[in-house]
Structure 1
Amino acid sequence: MNSPGGYIYLLYGEDSFGRDEAVQQLKDRMRALPAGEHNLTELAGADATLNALRLSADAVPFLAARRMVIVRGLLSRLAGRGGARRTSRAPRKSDAAAPDESQALLDYLADVPGTTSIAFVEDGRLSPEPMVAAIARGRAFVKEFPPVRDVAAWIRARAKLLEIDVDEGAVRELASLGNTDLRRLDSELKKLSAFAADRTITRNDVRELVIGRDVAVWSLLDGLAERRTDKALRAVRALYAQGESPEALLGRDIAPHMRRLLVARELAVASREERAATDVAALGLNPATLAKWMDQSEAFEPAELERALEILLDLDRQIKTGETTSEPALEVAIVQLCSRLSSVG
C-alpha cells in the first residue's frame, strides 16, 4: 500500500484487527507527509454518506499535494438500500424502489480527483467486482481480511513480526485458550515479551501471566453480568493480589464490558432491519458472539447500563483527581453495578 496518491482502497472482511491495522498504516503514512493531518478526513456512522464523501474527496488539498478520505460502513448501508449487494444477502423487493445511490457512487469513482485517495472500510464479505470495474485502471487496491481460522499460525506470524521469541509450547498454550480476539492476543504477546525480557517465552510464562489473570477477569465480568456481588468481589480481590491496579481493571476490562452490554441490549430491542444495518464490529462486538452478549444483556434495562457507565465515568474522574482511594472505591462501584441501578442515586 505504498500509494503516491489517488488510490481507491477497499479494505473489507471479518478480521477487524488486521483490517484496522491496514487503515492505521494508511493514516500514519498520510500524517507523515507535510500538512498530512490537515488533509485526512474520516467518515463513519451517520456521517458516512455519499454526499459527505463527495464533499470531502472533491476538496482541494490544503498546503499539500494530496488528501485522503477514510469512510467506514458506507457500502454496507447502500447495500441495504438497493445498491451493490453483500454476498450474504439476496436483494429485497423494497430495494428496487429505493434511490440507487450505489450506482451514483460507482459513477463518481471514475471521477475522483487524482489528488485524493479514498479508503472504503467494511466489515464482513462484499463483492468488490463492481467497484473495481468502475475505478480507473491502476487506481484500485482491494484487500480482503478473512477471519483467522488457525490461531496458532497467527500467533507465530505475529510474534515473528513483533520480533518476539516464543517457543511452540507457549504458542499452543495461547492458542488453546480459545480466544479469537486478535487484539487481546496481540496485547498478551507484548506483555509476555516484557515479562520474559530477553529470553524465550515459554508455556509456563503463559500459564503464570495470562491464564491466571484471564480466569479471574472473566470471573469478575461474569459476576457483573450475573449481578453476583460475591463472585465479582472475590475476583477483583484476586486480581489485586496478582498486582492488577483498579485503574487498569476499570479502563481495560470493566468499562468496556459494560459498554458492550449496553450496545448488545440496544441491539436486542432493535428491529431486525436495524440490526442488519448495524456494523457490529465497529461498535466493539464480535459478530460471532453477538447472541451471547445479547443474552447476557437481558439482565439489565438500557437505562441501568447507561447508569452503570455514568458510575464508572465518575469513579474514573474521582480516582484521577485523587478524591477517592481506588481499591475500595472500585469495590463500592462493583456493589452498585450488581444492584438495581435505577435505584442508585
Structure 2
Amino acid sequence: MIFDLWKKIKRKELSPVYLLYGTETFLINETKQLLTDAILNEEDIEFNLSSFDLAETPIEMALEDAETLPFMGEKKLLFLHNPHFLTAEKTKDKVEHNLARLETYLKEPAPYSIIVFMAPYEKLDERKKMTKELKKKAAVFEAKKLTEADLKKWMVARADFNGVTFDPKAMDLLLVLAGTNLFMLTSEIDKMALYVGRGHIIDVKTVESLVARSLEQNIFTLVDKIVGRKIEEALRIYYDLLKLNEEPIKILAVITNQIRLIYQVKELGKRGYGQNQIASHLKVHPFRVKLAAGQARKFSEDELIGLIKQLAEADYKMKTGAMNKELLIELILLKLQQ
C-alpha cells in the first residue's frame, strides 16, 4: 500500500532498491520527492543525486555510479528512468543492457546507495526473469488510480501536511466539484488550507467559496438538479454557463456523456456488476460510478433512453443549424418539468 511505503520512507526505514511503476504520475512524483527529502540534505543534492535515462544509458553505467562512494555525504540516490527491459514493449532503445550485471548488484547492493527504478508503465512483464528478480529484491510500489477509500485517506494526509483537518462532507463535495485528479486536488487543498490557516477545519462553506468549478463539474451539478427535478435551478446554471460564453454544443456534449454514464451504470448494475467492475469496464473512476449509481436510482430505464434520444436529436439539430442552439437545451430542460 502507498501509505505504508510513505510511512516507512518518512521514518527513514529505507530499502537499497525501489521499483515504482504505474501510470498515476502524481503518486510516482510524490514518492520520488519523499525519497529525496528523506535521504539527502539540501547541500548533498548537487553531488549525490543522479538521474539516468535507461533508454539512452546502459544499466552498467548507472551501477558503476551506485558503487562509487558518495561525495561529502552518507548516501547517494539514483533515479533510473524508462527500464523498458521490464516490459513486453518493443522499443527503440539506443543501448544494450548487461542485465547479468544488474542481477549481481541486486544480490549485494552498495550500502551507501539507494537506486529507484521509475517505470511509467501500466504493466510489467511478469514472465521476464529480471522483472521477477527485481520484484523479489526491491521495495515495490504500483502507482495506480486510488480507490475512493484510499483517495480520501490521501486527502486527509494532504490536509494534515498543511496543518488542517477535513470535514467529511467537505471532502465529498470537493470530489464532486474538483474530480479525482490528484494534481487538481492538491492545488485546491493547499489553497483552502492557506485560506483557513493551520489548526483549522476545511468545511463545506470553504469548499463552496473557494473551489473552482470546471465546465464538467458545473454540468454535473446541472445534471444533479435535473435528476432531482429541480428544473428552475438547472436552468439558472445553464444560463450562467451561457454568460460565461460556454458553447451550447459543448454543454450538450457533456450533459449527454453524463446521462449516458448514468444509463450505463444502471444497466450494468442490473446485470449484477459491482461498482469497481463497472468502473473498470467503463474506464472511469469508481467515485464517478458511485455518484452515477445514486442518480440512476431516480430515473427509470425508459426515462433515460428517452432523454438520450432527445439529446441526440438536439445534437443533430445544432450541427445542421435547424434550430437556435441555446433554445434547444432550454426546451429539453423545460420538457423534464412536465
TM-score w.r.t. structure 2 length? 0.49
Please say which structure displays the higher CA radius of gyration: 2
TM-score w.r.t. structure 1 length? 0.48
